[in-house]
Structure formats: C-alpha cells, structure tokens
Amino acid sequence: MTQLALFDLDNTLLPCDSDYEWGQFLARIGVVDSQYYAKQNERFYQDYKDGKLDIHEFLRFALKPLSEHSRAQLKEWHDAFMNEVIHGQLRQQALDLVKRHQDAGDLCCVVTATNSFVTRPIVERFGIEHLIATEPATTGDNPLANFTGEVKGIPNFREGKIQRVHDWLATQSLALDQLPRSYFYSDSMNDLPLLEKVSHPVATNPDARLRNEAAKRNWPILELFA
C-alpha cells in the first residue's frame, strides 16, 4: 500500500525561510520600499517563530507585491531569486532525504504555508511533483493570470494544513488514517497540528519549542544541517 511522506519546506528542507528571503530580495532590488518592507518582514517572521503570527495580516502584506506587477516581470525576478538566493541553500542532506522516500516508492509532497508562486520552483528543484501551499488568488482561470493580492481558499497554515492535506489526498483516492505509514518532517511548533495526525512525525531542525515537545513525546529529532 501507498506510504506518504510530507515535508515542510522552510527551515526543514531548506536551511532558510523562502518567504522571508523573497521579501528581503524584493527589498534589495528596490521593488518595494526597502526600509518599511524589511522592518515588516522581520516583524512577521518573528511572530511566526513565536507562534503568534496573524496569517491573514501577513498574507495581505506578502501577496500585495504580487498584485502590482505582471506575471512575466514576477517570473524574471523569481528566476533571479532562485539563482542568487535559493540555489546556494540546496543541501545534499535534504535532497538525499527526499530521494530515500522516493526510492521507497512513497508518495511525496511539500506542505508549506509559503505561497505557491514562491515555492513551486523550489519544490521542483527537489524533484517533488506535489505541492500544497497557500494559493494566491488570480484575476482569472488562466495559469498566467495576474495575482489579486488575496488568498484563494484556506491558508495552508497550522490547522489549515490538515484540511488541505485531507483534500489533496482525496484527489488521490487516499485517506490519511487508512495509510500504513505517513511521515511529516517539520521544524516548527506551528506544524504541531499536522505532526499529531501522521503516524511518523519527525522534528527536523526543530525550533526550541518543537524540540521540547518532541522530547516529551519521544518523537525522532533529525538534524539535516548540523
């Protein structure tokens, strides 16, 4: 039977936060007001690490720049972002972890709160077909339609990840509680709801709060970037 391997992305498969780094990149190249954006970006990132992020407030902030430029321009910037920032953050240990699950025939999927525009090209670099991410709304059904700055559907954050995973598995004619084994790799206490739902939670490069929780529950702790 199918086994499932779910991976968070930021600070789990990557030793950085792609959402934060994208914001910093936009500030560096002058797309957004660098002083204001860098300050807000830092505030939201700290709120995330502290477990008190208002996801809707953050998404209004993070998705606004996507709505102000054409898809062609955004792609040009994202290509540069991949080359200048992400390429140097790809680690063999993380690539090997994914490959072990793929070689075992497991169904692999990245489950991230970061929006799909930022993350899909990164996930493709890991050779993973499936991505569950926060989806930016667009002005139409055309895959290249411009972004509106709003969120489409449920943000893929905390308990929202559970719903989105259930919905995605249903499209695969699968159900989480019927799988013989399900893994979820994450660094963040924000992912505790989904970690509790899989049969094999793995605290991966965990933050201090998740590290403590994993120790209490005897969950394995994996240090990919030690």
List active site positions. 8, 10
What 3-state DSSP class applies to 50? helix
Strand 182-186 with 4-7, pairing: parallel
Which CB contacts under 8 angstroms, 24+ apart, belong to 21-30?
21/81, 21/85, 21/86, 22/81, 22/118, 23/62, 25/77, 25/80, 25/81, 25/84, 25/85, 26/65, 26/77, 29/77, 29/80
Inter-axis angle of helices 71-81 and 116-125, nearest 10: 40
- For residue 137, give Cα distances in angstroms to 146, 164, 168, 206: 9, 16, 18, 31
Q: Where are the alpha helices (DSSP H) in the chain?
A: 18-28, 34-50, 55-67, 71-81, 92-103, 116-125, 159-171, 192-195, 208-217
Q: CA-to-CA distance for 134 and 111, rounded, in angstroms?
A: 9
